[in-house]
Structures are given as C-alpha cells and as structure tokens.
Structure 1
Amino acid sequence: MSPLFISLEGIDGSGKSTQTQRLVEWLQTQGRDPVRTREPGGSAGAEEIRRLLVEGDPDRWSAETEILLFTAARRDHLERTIRPALAAGRDVVTDRFADSTRVYQGATRGDLRGLVDRIHAAAIDVEPDLTLILDMDPELALSRGLARDSGEDRFEDFGLPFQQKLRAGFRELASEAPERCVLVDASTDPDTISGTLSQIVAERLSRR
C-alpha cells in the first residue's frame, strides 16, 4: 500500500501527543512502519526553532513573525523527515502541521489567513492525506495544558478566550476541507478516542 500522511490537530491540551503515539502503535499492529513526528519540530533544525516559538512571553513575537518562523521550521521538517519517510514507503503521523498555523496565526491573532496561505503555497505546498481534529471544551483543555507545566506553555498563557477562538477556527477548518479533515470528539476517555481514530484511519487505508 502507498504511505499515508496523517496530521493530528486541535487546541492545546486536547490530547494530540497521546493519540499520535497510540495511532502509531496501532499502525504498527497492522504491519506498517510509521514515523511519529511533531511540529514545530520533527527535524534537528526545526527543533531549534521550536524553542523560540513555544517558550517565553506570549508577546515575544508578532503573529507575522510567528508565521515566518513556523514556515521555516515546517520546511526543514518537510525536507529532512516527512518527504524521505514517504519516499521510503513509510506512513507519517505528525502532531500538528500547517493547519495549526492557519488557525493559531491566521484566524486568532488578526486577519492573516491570506498571508498564511500565500506563504504556505510558496514554501510548503503539501497537505496531509488525512487530518484528525481533536475537539473538546477549551476550558478543560486549557486546565490540562497548564497542568503539564512543561515550560512550553507560551500559547496556553494567552488564556481561555484565545483557546475558544482556536476551537472555533479548527471547527471552521473542518467544514472547509471535509474530504481531508475529520472532527473527533476528544472529551471522552483516551481508549474510546484512539478506537475512533484507528477506525477512521482503517477506512482511509482501505481506499488506497
């Protein structure tokens, strides 16, 4: 079978990292050889840029600067990790991709979606085959995210109104691209969520 490029998206604290790992493990049980990765990050250069983006004061960067930094990290990620894996016939499962930039910078911090799309088209021009959007109550997700105390909580520090805008942005994105994006209820227990995700991916694989 041809490889599948899958992204998991959603607001901070919605369980993307946990479900990315579980999905990778499920794909392995199907005899596949997936690559687990993340954004910002996923390659040596992109991980260096990650620290600039997820640590420090919320007002450290303007939204426009963030778009450029995220795109630079994504380009390195694409060149060093994603394309080589797909070329080798391996599935790629990433915790975030370009949709996060469309929502975080393009829809919640000013009307910058057009700028995001133009830069994406020029520098990346790749979309996942399947995007799983984990949807849940922003207040609960924010409490989870802050409880991690990971030191990478710059976006959580924007507060609840920001997370509410993010949720609305991801929901709108799901309606814009229904063939690629699937909205998944992430308010249930992790086992139920992972079961739902594996069913969605199994159905998508059956089409290939």
Structure 2
Amino acid sequence: MLGTVERVNETARGALIVFEGGDGAGKSTQVQAVARALEFQGRTVKRTREPGGTPLAESVRGLVLDPAHAPVDADTEALLFASARADHVNRFIRPAIERGEVVISDRFVDSSVAYQGAARGLGLEHVQELNEWALRGLTPDLTVLLDVDTSVAESRRTDRGLAADRMEGEDRDFHTVVNQAFRDLAAAAPERYLVLAADQPIEVVTDKILDRLAEVLS
C-alpha cells in the first residue's frame, strides 16, 4: 500500500520529516520506503542523515563515530554534532524546504538530546540550547519514533554482521537510556511525534507513517 497521501502539484509546500529511534530500530528501511511512496505520489523528496548530509558534515560523522577516536569527551561530542547540524541545516535542509521539497532525515536534533543529553549525562535542556543556534528556529513537521526494545535492537545490530561504530558499540545500559529518552521526548510533544512499535511488519509501519503524513502534508 502507498498510504492515503494524494498526488500533489508543483506548488506543494516543503517539509522536514525525521526518523528517530535507537540503533537497530529500522529507520533506514522506513526512510527508503516512505521516500519511494511520496515520490510515486508526485513529491520531490530529498533523503539525508545525521550526522552527515553535506560534505563537511559527513567528514565530522567520520570523526565522531570512528571507534579509533574513543574516548571522546561528552561536551566535544555534542559540539561536533551541533556544528555538523548547522552546516546540514544551512546548506541542505532549509534550501530544500524553501524549494517545496520534502526532506526525510535519518536522525536529527532529538538524537543529540537523547544520546548526549541523556545517555552522556549533559542534560536534555543543555543540549537543546546548544543546538538552537544550529537550528535557527527550524522544527520537524513530523518526527517518527520507531520504538524497539533494547535487546531486540542489539540482536538486529549483531545480525547485520557489520562492525559497530562508536555509538553502536556502547553497552546495553547506554542504549536503554537512549530509548527511554526518546520516549520521554515523544510524550512531551505528541503533536510533533508519531510513535510506532518497530517490531511490526515493515509494510504496516510504512502505511501508518503515510497515513499520518497525509495530515501533515495536506
């Protein structure tokens, strides 16, 4: 199914749709599925990720996620993510939205709040304030939280057979804190969030996201 979003004309407004969740929640799969569906319905879609999305931000990604650079001070980590986000927003996201395109991002500022604010202990408000200059008022039109149990996500990461980056390689307690932080953020802003159990069939999750996007993009 392709959801209930109707085909659109060239004057459709742009939007920022963000996918959040712990490592192994299935964000990349849903980003691809939703992007294909929206493109079929006539929208211009730009897929991106954080950290990353621009050459500079991708370079920062390589630095901050490389296990060879561990340990990284929590404040330094948060500042690196925020600087990458500033370039991403200014050079990629905001211009695309202004052109009327739909930007779909695999992670955004709430990841910094969950990972550095909660799991690294910097404080949620501190990390949110740190990122204000990077965002300059930009807020996602919809944040999809793919909620998955920490043990299930851990199993998925193992099944992929890929070397874990510095974040994925953290212990179970770290990821448990991250997942709970995402749930708390969603509970505090239900109008912006769509929370879905990530253990449902992929097609079911995709259809539920598209149903919500029919309201957001109308």
Q: What TM-score does the superposition give when structure 1 sets the normalisation length?
A: 0.94
Q: RMSD between aligned alpha carbons?
A: 1.5
| Residues 146, 153 of structure 1: 8 Å contact kept | no
1:122 CA displacement? 2.4
Name 2:95's counterpart in structure 1.
84
Q: Deviation string for 1:149-168 (max 9, x for gaps)?
A: 44452112112111111111
Number of aligned residues: 206
Correspondence for 1:157 among 165, 169, 172: 169
Name 2:190's counterpart in structure 1.
178
Which amino acid in 1 is paired with 2:29? Answer: T
- Which secondary structure state, in structure 2, belongs to the residue aligned with residue 60 of structure 1? coil
Superposed, 1:56-135 pairs within 5 Å as 56=67, 59-125=70-136, 126-135=138-147
Cα distance 1:58–1:15, how it changes in 2: closer, same or farther (>3 A)? farther
1:184 CA displacement? 1.0
1:58 CA displacement? 8.0
Q: Deviation string for 1:179-201 (max 9, x for gaps)?
A: 11111111112111111111111
Which amino acid in 1 is paired with 2:112? Answer: T
Q: Percent identity?
A: 41
In structure 2, distance between residues paired with 1:61 and 1:11: 20
1:202 CA displacement? 1.4
- Which secondary structure state, in structure 1, belongs to the residue aligned with residue 17 of structure 2? strand
Name 1:18's counterpart in structure 2.
29
| Residues 14, 100 of structure 2: 8 Å contact kept | yes
Q: What TM-score does the superposition give when structure 2 sets the normalisation length?
A: 0.90
Q: Where do 5+ consecutive residues of structure 1 fail to align?
A: none
In structure 2, distance between residues paired with 1:202 and 1:150: 36
- Which secondary structure state, in structure 2, belongs to the residue aligned with residue 117 of structure 1? helix
In structure 2, distance between residues paired with 1:22 and 1:100: 21
Which ranges of 4 or more aligned residues in structure 1 deviate by more than 6 Å?
none
Q: Deviation string for 1:3-42 (max 9, x for gaps)?
A: 1110000000000011001110011111101100000001
In structure 2, distance between residues paired with 1:82 and 1:38: 10
